[in-house]
Amino acid sequence: MLPWLYHRWTGLWLLITALGALSLFLYGFFPLKYHSGKLASMDDLPNVINGISIDGQSVYNSGENSVVLMVIDGLRYDFVTEEYMPFTGQLIKNKSACIYVSVAEPPTVTMPRIKAMMTGSVSTFADVALNFGAPAVTGDSVLRVAASRGRRTVMYGDDTWLRLFPGLWTESDGTTSFFVTDYTEVDQNVTRHLDKVLTPDEKTEPSFDLLVLHYLGLDHIGHLEGARSPKIKPKLVEMDDVVKKIYYAMQKWDRTGVLLVCGDHGMRDAGGHGGASTAELLVPLVVLTSDGFKCPHDSGAGPTVAQTDVAPTLAWLLGAPPPGDSVGRVLPALLPPDPRQHLYLLHVLAERNARLVPATDKEFYKQFERAKKQFAHYLATGQQSAAKIAKEFYEESLEEMAKYLTESTTDFDMFAIGVATFLLYVLAGALLSLTLFSLQPETRRKISVHQQHKSKTGSLIAFIIILAISSIILIISCFITETKSQVCSFNPIWSIAFIAITIVPTVTYFIIKTAIENTRDLSTLRDLNVIDYLLIIGTLFHSWSFFGTSFIEEEHMTWYFFWNTLMFFILVRTIVVVVMYFAKRWSGATEVQEKPDLENRMSSVGVSIVPQWILLIALHRYLRTMNQTGDRWLFLPDTADWLNAPENAFYLELHLVIGTLLTLAICLWNLRYMNNYMQMHSALTFVATACIFCYRIATNSLDSPFSGIKTWDPVLIVDVFWAILIAQVVFEIFTYIGMFKTCGFPLKSNNKFTYNKPKAKSEDYFYDQMEEPWNIDEVKLNLARSITHIMYNDLMLIIILLMRPHNVIMVPSIYFTCKLTSKCLDHKLLDSRAGRNTEIADILSKSLVHLWIGILFFFYQGNSNSLASVDLGSGYVGLREYSAPRVALRMGLHAYAAPALAGAALFCALSTRVQDWRR
């Protein structure tokens, strides 16, 4: 097994296996929704209540209704006021409409919220991953029961509805919801149908039973400009006009018109959503009808309701049974005034929930039984006191049943979670053992390989025995736990995963065992200093901090604390080195004269290292104020808010220009590692940067005296930008393969990609013609350096194109931080011992510090562990229409711009120091 340790790809395969274990963990942790498979029908309505007969078909009848469900994407509860929506606000004030506080359970993204409203069951976080695909709902829904009753359903708006409920619409016109730069057309495409669909026929009957309108413009404004954008109020006034139009149209119908206005989710002040903040969870639900409706609640908000209550409410209004898995209740304002109908409706909902409850010993189930008795007593005697008691019992049992079902219908695969956690730990142990083995001097590792004389047959037998033991333990665990996990289903597909699970601990056992046995010389760890241990301990603490939810929500505070500590440690160490240098120099100490070690160390960084580091500390203090993040202090104003204020436009543009020009300067500096033949790379870099400035001018992010640029097509500008970056890579590859030389273009003698044979070492010595070596390895090393720096330059240019103007300054800041930190962490500068080979310690410390820098700037940028911090607007830069792969790539690169840049900077730093391309 020892050759596995010495193989260069073993660590990579362990990491890939760890990703597989992580995928298994995520499969178990993000539960799939449980569906009973029950499809509701009118035959399910009970006709006997505790021995007393009742005609369920006639009692369960809300009359002839036409229902309009108006969903305004991203509508926060505090948006429905007379200031923003005057007509709706006046109706609520006059009690001609009711407003409820509707709670949208996490995840607060569109697709799960639509499913909750239509099925009456709570969605899970697994639906977040499915939000972009929106597979068809397999369970029961309002639309299915309405179709079974012959109801006419019409939908205009977000095409997610069409993908979730295909074939259930009488008429529809869908609009893609993902092109977030569109504020107007997505809503105009909905509103243009209203005159036709709201106008009744000659019998004064509307042409639908259920009309769904899903408006997207408000959410798009929030994503790009935040909840305090000046465009929010005009959009809400536009939505209020739609409410007014529908309300007056309903007065002309010969049947009762019911309008429900709601949001699918809210939005943070920063504009995103997906998390669990109050602004994202609480949305309004406004109810109004055309038949002289008077809100039964006191002025102000009515009772708090769940978003799942929409499904049974719609089913009741449409004369259809509640969906099979519905756990919601009918909105209080729409409950029938007749006690008999009222109690029967509560009984239908409670009985539906009771069928889904596996345990009958719960108190809420007993309460349901008591309610049935009181209802039956009322039906038999007509006593109003029995009706009142039955109503209280039904409502109490319904509330508790809804809570229980919401928690129990999501089935976590605890067995898969446990197995995945075990695998991740053993893989981490194998990687640690492999790392410690590789830290030994190369001569020590080669001796270990040569000393290995174990029989291959014996190793194979041992491997089979350990594999059998692992398989037996896993099988026994499956049967002892009596789990229903797919891991233990032994079907053909999961059998492959089962075998892989047993192989992983077997392989890692041998890797750990062999590494421990052959790790005897860790003298390189003596080169680690206090800063190295701070980096190691901080990284380990961060991984363990995820066991606390507060550490996850406020993870940025952990990194801010660690980074400030690191900067203080480095400042103290560099001051000590500089002070020692000057003290010994001024005193004429013999150490400086006879042992110029300190002089050599200082010459690599210069005495200016201390003021440079102090300036970097000041820069980070400023960047930290740029974007509030996390959860607790998100509402506080930050520098980005100040910069984006209209009166501070000059300073925002200054940030944009300085950040872009500094990035250009960095790119030009990196050209010294490329083959800048005929200054082609310089020219292409200048043109690419010019495209970025033109794009900013064309999108009104930057003022310019050249007014004609504002009329240019931003999409075309971005297309030219991409073409330039591709041309730069192609040019470098062509130079590498000698294309220009073949075409007759002379290359300079110092060309990095010239395959010349070296000259003879002396006049007396010359190579044989067949033995004369080529400089292929040197060319490969130059190509590696060139490609890494092209990657870094292109990443910086792409990211400043995607970033919001106030964040562009982050890109050059990452470069300066990486450069200066790497210089200050040099062990030859900080350590007092001379003549030691600190290459391994340098790689370890610089790898960890680049990891820290990437995560630190991730939070500086305003990101967090909440989905709400994802900037959707970055995904549409340079796009004219929605394209899932391109949008996802842009959004992903923008969200993880800082880790990507820090990683690229590390690659560039390593490539410039190594002497062999294989390193």
CA distance 327 to 334: 17
The answer to the question of residue 201 being in a domain is yes
Q: Residues 648-667, buried b or exposed e (16+ Cβ, 10 A)? A: eeeebbebbeebbebbbebb
Comparing CA positions, the residue from 271, 279, 161, 274 lying closest to residue 220 is: 271
Both tokens of 582, joined, read 């000057």
Same domain, 462 and 316: no
- State the pLDDT at residue 598: 57
- DSSP state, residue 711: G
DSSP letters, 221-252, are: HHHHH-TT-TTHHHHHHHHHHHHHHHHHHHTT
pLDDT per residue as tens digits for the range 845-884:
999 999 999 999 999 999 988 877 888 778 888 888 777 7
Same domain, 569 and 708: yes
Q: What number is the average pLDDT over the span 200-223? A: 88
The answer to the question of residue 47 being in a domain is no
- State the pLDDT at residue 772: 47
Both tokens of 7, joined, read 């193989």
Question: Which residue, 290, 318, 335, sits at the end of a domain?
Answer: 335
Which run of H or E residues covers position 410?
strand 410-411
Backbone angles phi, psi at 195, to 5 degrees: -55, -40
Both tokens of 205, joined, read 């009957």
Same domain, 493 and 635: no
- State the pLDDT at residue 127: 61
Same domain, 534 and 566: yes
Question: Which residue, 451, 486, 521, sits at the end of a domain?
Answer: 521
Same domain, 647 and 547: yes
- State the pLDDT at residue 34: 56
Q: What number is the average pLDDT over the span 912-918? A: 78
Q: Which residue range forms the structural domain that includes residue 197?
A: 63-335
- State the pLDDT at residue 573: 84
Whether residue 751 is predicted with pLDDT greater than 60 in this model: the reply is: yes
The full 3-state SS of 250-314, as one line of letters, equals HCCCCCEEEEEEECCCCCCCCCCCCCCCHHHHEEEEEEEECCCCCCCCCCCCCCEEEHHHHHHHH
Average pLDDT, the chain: 85
Both tokens of 6, joined, read 């010495």
Same domain, 789 and 893: yes
Q: What number is the average pLDDT over the span 420-438? A: 90
The position carrying tokens 């967090």 is: 864
Same domain, 811 and 867: yes
Same domain, 420 and 563: no
- The better pLDDT of the pair 195, 739 is held by 195
Comparing CA positions, the residue from 731, 715, 751, 741 lying closest to residue 886 is: 715
DSSP letters, 61-84, are: ---SEEEEEEEETT--GGG-STTT
Residue 219 near residue 267 (C-beta atoms within 8 A): yes
Same domain, 465 and 327: no
CA distance 860 to 482: 47
The answer to the question of residue 616 being in a domain is yes
Domain count, the chain: 3
The answer to the question of residue 442 being in a domain is yes
Whether residue 259 is predicted with pLDDT greater than 80 in this model: the reply is: yes
Same domain, 163 and 97: yes
- State the pLDDT at residue 105: 82
Whether residue 707 is predicted with pLDDT greater than 90 in this model: the reply is: no
CATH number for 128: 3.40.720.10
The answer to the question of residue 135 being in a domain is yes
Residue 495 near residue 503 (C-beta atoms within 8 A): no
- State the pLDDT at residue 754: 67
pLDDT per residue as tens digits for the range 569-625:
999 888 887 787 777 777 765 554 444 555 555 555 666 788 899 999 999 999 999
Same domain, 471 and 564: no
For the chain, give the percent of residues with pLDDT over 70: 87
Is the C-alpha dihedral spanning 682, 684, 688, 691 positive or negative?
positive
The answer to the question of residue 395 being in a domain is no
Residue 808 near residue 660 (C-beta atoms within 8 A): yes
The answer to the question of residue 775 being in a domain is yes
- The better pLDDT of the pair 601, 365 is held by 365
* Range scoring the smallest mean pLDDT among 98-107, 443-452, 533-542: 443-452
- State the pLDDT at residue 574: 83
Whether residue 328 is predicted with pLDDT greater than 50 in this model: the reply is: yes
Question: Which residue, 296, 320, 335, sits at the end of a domain?
Answer: 335
Residues near 748 by beta carbon (within 8 Å), at least 6 away in sequence: 677
Whether residue 770 is predicted with pLDDT greater than 60 in this model: the reply is: no
* Range scoring the smallest mean pLDDT among 440-449, 640-649, 767-776: 767-776
Same domain, 86 and 164: yes
